């Protein structure tokens, strides 16, 4: 029987050996100062050997002073390049392409004076400082500098984090952008930051270096970004020559609502959103959202909803998922329990220990994290 997930494809100059990718997932394995730890290296070494064609490293922040919101990787100074280069090599030695996601927390930053498009607080946090045009330009420069560091560190591509309610979404969403200048109001204006950001990064990196985008299709809030507008934004990113769109949905204010938690327990629960975006663009589209079995991955791709699948919690539960799925061994996959253990730990800024792991694996990472 033919298998679409075994098929090769290209993302710009990157030749992917199959249709399986690792979607970025925060682990809290990094050192407290934002540097790469042995636990993080081991985790991504395993991901590189998993059989996935491309591994996207969890978000690295472009401004450690105004964007800090937890135990994140940093990519805002040159002295982080050495550790990041080790991280890129650990993935590529396993046979996967290495990509790193870059990000700015905006109003989610866990600092006393966060920056945001508009002075709208995140939860019960401080009211952020409204960005001036000069500050917006400075932030774009920081993203560009971070992307150049990623290239110097040996990553094969860079992914802009434009989802989960972080800074690009804060500009794009009518819920969090109340500006009256050239960056606010109409959709054309709310798209401006993201499009300027992507173009600046692409210009700096050159035409032969892929720039992908973690794409927010729907905030899942009645006053937030919805598909009618996100489809238009996807088209504009496509016109710029974006390398791929990795489609997701939900922000911190919506993803823990009862109906969304129930939705997230269903297999392929975001595939329809990926399909809606794919219908609007020529760039490859990655679908995510509890793609728990090879059969589920096959359905997403063969139906035309996406070109690739992105695995996060599923791959955390079983780092051999791609090898087993590609070999037709679905029954041997160590399934994600969807128990919420990893999400609960992440929200507390604590390193992930997956409930689906056996004792030996849990002990291995417990020991690595003790020595971090």
Rounded to the nearest 10 degrees, what angle do helices 192-205 and 133-152 cross at?
Answer: 40
Give, for 85, the enclosing helix (H) or strand (E). Answer: helix 81-92
| Residue among 1, 60, 17, 68 nearest 35 (CA) | 60
Distance of alpha carbon 366 from alpha carbon 352, whole angstroms? 10
Q: Which residues, listed in sequence order, are joined to residue 286 by a DSSP beta bridge? A: 246, 308
Distance of alpha carbon 30 from alpha carbon 24, whole angstroms? 14
Q: Which residues, listed in sequence order, are joined to residue 158 by a DSSP beta bridge? A: 100, 211
Distance of alpha carbon 81 from alpha carbon 86, whole angstroms? 9
Instruction: Let me know the angle formed at the C-alpha of 280 by 276 and 282, rounded to the nearest 5 degrees.
Output: 120
DSSP letter assigned to residue 260? H
Reply yes or no on whether 29 is catalytic: no
317 phi/psi in degrees, rounded to 5: -65, -40
342 phi/psi in degrees, rounded to 5: -65, -40
Whose tokens are 């087993």? That residue is: 324
**Cα(first)–Cα(last) distance of the chain, in Å?**
46
Q: Which residues, listed in sequence order, are joined to residue 22 by a DSSP beta bridge? A: 55, 311
Distance of alpha carbon 41 from alpha carbon 79, whole angstroms? 17
Q: Which residues, listed in sequence order, are joined to residue 73 by a DSSP beta bridge? A: 60
Label residue 371 exposed, middle or buried (CB < 10 Å: 0-12, 13-18, 19+): exposed
Candidate list 44, 80, 143, 166, residue with the active-site label: 166
Beta strands in 23-90 (DSSP E): 54-61, 73-74
Whose tokens are 């934004």? That residue is: 233
Positions marked active-site: 166
């Amino acid at each position: 029987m033919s298998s679409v997930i075994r098929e090769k494809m290209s993302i710009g100059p990157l030749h992917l050996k199959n249709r399986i990718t690792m979607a970025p997932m925060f682990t809290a394995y990094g050192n407290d100062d934002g540097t790469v730890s042995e636990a993080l290296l081991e985790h991504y070494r395993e991901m590189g050997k998993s059989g996935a064609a491309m591994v996207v490293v969890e978000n690295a922040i472009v401004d450690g002073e105004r964007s800090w919101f937890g135990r994140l990787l940093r990519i805002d100074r040159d002295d982080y390049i050495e550790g990041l280069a080790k991280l890129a090599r650990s993935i590529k030695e396993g046979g996967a392409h290495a990509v790193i996601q870059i990000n700015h927390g905006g109003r989610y930053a866990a600092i006393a004076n966060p920056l945001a498009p508009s002075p709208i607080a995140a939860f019960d946090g401080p009211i952020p400082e409204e960005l001036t045009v000069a500050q917006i330009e400075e932030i774009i420069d920081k993203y560009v500098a971070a992307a150049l560091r990623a290239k110097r560190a040996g990553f094969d591509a860079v992914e802009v984090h434009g989802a989960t309610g972080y800074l690009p979404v804060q500009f794009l969403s009518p819920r969090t952008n109340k500006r009256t200048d050239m960056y606010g109001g109409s959709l054309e204006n709310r798209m401006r930051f993201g499009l300027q950001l992507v173009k600046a990064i692409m210009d700096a990196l050159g035409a032969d270096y892929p720039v992908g985008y973690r794409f927010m299709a729907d905030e899942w809030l009645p006053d937030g970004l919805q598909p009618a507008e996100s489809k238009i934004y996807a088209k504009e990113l496509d016109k710029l020559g974006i390398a791929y769109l990795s489609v997701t949905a939900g922000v911190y204010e919506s993803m823990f609502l009862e109906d969304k938690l129930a939705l997230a327990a269903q297999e392929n629960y975001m595939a329809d959103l990926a399909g809606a975006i794919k219908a609007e663009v020529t760039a490859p589209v990655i679908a995510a959202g509890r793609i728990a079995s090879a059969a589920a991955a096959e359905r997403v791709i063969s139906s035309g909803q996406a070109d690739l699948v992105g695995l996060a919690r599923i791959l955390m539960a079983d780092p051999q998922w791609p090898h087993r799925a590609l070999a037709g061994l679905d029954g041997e996959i160590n399934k994600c329990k969807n128990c919420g253990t990893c999400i609960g730990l992440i929200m507390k800024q604590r390193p992930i220990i997956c409930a689906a792991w056996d004792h030996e694996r849990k002990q291995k990472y417990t020991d690595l994290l003790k020595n971090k």
